[in-house]
Structure 1
Amino acid sequence: MDADLRSNLFQQAKDWVMEAGANIKAKIDDPLTINTKSNAKDLVTHMDQETERFFQTKIKKKYPDHFLLSEEGYGDNLSNLDGIVWIIDPIDGTMNFVQQKRNFAISVGIYLDGIGEIGIIYNVMDDVLYHAIRGEGAFKDDVRLPKLKESLTLEESMIGLNHNWLCRNRLVKEDTMQQLVRKVRGTRTYGSAALEFAYVAEGIMDGYLTMGLAPWDVAAGIVIVNEVGGVTTTIDGQSVNMLTTNPIITCNSEIHSQVIVEYIKKGRK
């Protein structure tokens, strides 16, 4: 992608993200219409849908030849990532949005022919913007994020780990994951995949594992983590398919192979 086009796209995407965030904050205390999707824990609100419609309208008007891949049904039905594709989660962490009114994010990734060019994750209520343009580094607001620490061990690592790994995991034996929990320095769960990616990029967490994330959960985060030297794959170490749901590990590259080889592959059911 041409450098000028990337810069212009980033600025436009950032402006829309901030506008959408301001709208969410202005309405944060309004009554919510809450529905469920796949199960009682899979929530969607009218604000998720309103925010996605906002992006869909803006993108299709200004960039009619661009595509949209998104969570709430307003995007295009894509079988590939040819061309310029915006991959958007309007509110990542909907349960947090509903229950806590914080700890959720707007996530926007822009891809060209399957390659992540731009990543934006906006922590709405804390007013913190994580962002990256491929090859130009990653930032928290206006502060450039340093490369992730070298010579990191698992014993020194803080890992984001959804508790479903320990109680209803269909992929890896629960006792193997319990061994990983005992090995690392600590675990945390924040309830927003986008924010967990951002925290890995910031270096305040060293990795994040989860059983199933959709493209809109990871698209922006992958770009941002890449720019600080991190790595994102499936839990088997394979490339992430950006058109399907994947079990994901994103982490400091120093611990990537150890987690996969010593814990995930040995514990596969």
Structure 2
Amino acid sequence: MAKSRSVRSYGSAALEFAMLARGQISALLFFKLYPWDYTGGEIITGELGYKTTDLWRKLPLLSSTSVISGNPKIHSEILEHFTADTNYMISMMNFTIYNNTAEHASTFS
């Protein structure tokens, strides 16, 4: 992480997973994706030896989540960076709970 030159977002999970698979980027990080946004990319990059999880080192099957993907070394470095900041992790949990509640509340109105 200390050696990274920049952080960019291309606005498309599919495009970024394809770029990761081609070796054009070293890793990717999204703070909120749905399974249909990342599953295909996870399968392709997983076959190439990349690791994909959320900030809590898992990937939920049916809900939105953060997504981190990269080679195992970079993946670990990114996770260490975010999990070292306890306040950040707590704010992410609150963000996820709030967003899920807001989404589901509109369904029941």
TM-score greater than 0.5 by the shorter chain: yes
Q: State the match for 2:8 in structure 1.
A: 188
In the TM superposition, what whole-angstrom CA distance separates every residue of 1:12-38 from its partner, at most 9, and x where no partner exists? xxxxxxxxxxxxxxxxxxxxxxxxxxx
**Within-5 A mapping of 1:88-237:** 154=1, 183-237=3-57
In the TM superposition, what whole-angstrom CA distance separates every residue of 1:158-183 from its partner, at most 9, and x where no partner exists? xxxxxxxxxxxxxxxxxxxxxxxxx4
Alpha carbons 1:236, 1:264 under 8 Å: kept: no
Q: Within 2, Cα distance between the matches of 1:256 and 1:250?
A: 6
1:255 aligns to 2:105 (yes or no): no
CA RMSD of aligned residues (A): 1.4
Query: Taking CA–CA contacts closer than 8 Å with sequence separation of 6 or more, which of the two structures ends up with the larger relative contact order?
Result: 2
Which one has a larger percent helix, Structure 1 or Structure 2? 2
TM-score calculated relative to the size of structure 1: 0.31
1:266 aligns to 2:84 (yes or no): yes
Q: Within 1, Cα distance between the matches of 2:50 and 2:36?
A: 19
Alpha carbons 1:207, 1:251 under 8 Å: kept: yes
Match of 1:243, SS state, is coil
Q: 2:63 aligns with which of 229, 241, 244?
A: 244
Alpha carbons 1:233, 1:248 under 8 Å: kept: yes
Runs of 5+ unmatched residues, structure 2? 88-109
Q: Within 2, Cα distance between the matches of 1:245 and 1:187?
A: 22
TM-score calculated relative to the size of structure 2: 0.73
Alpha carbons 1:235, 1:247 under 8 Å: kept: yes
Amino acid at match of 2:85: G
CA distance 1:266–1:243, change in 2 (3 Å): same
Bigger radius of gyration, 1 or 2? 1
Q: Within 2, Cα distance between the matches of 1:268 and 1:189?
A: 25
Q: How many residues of Structure 1 are paired with residues of Structure 2 in the alignment?
A: 87
Runs of 5+ unmatched residues, structure 1? 1-153, 156-182
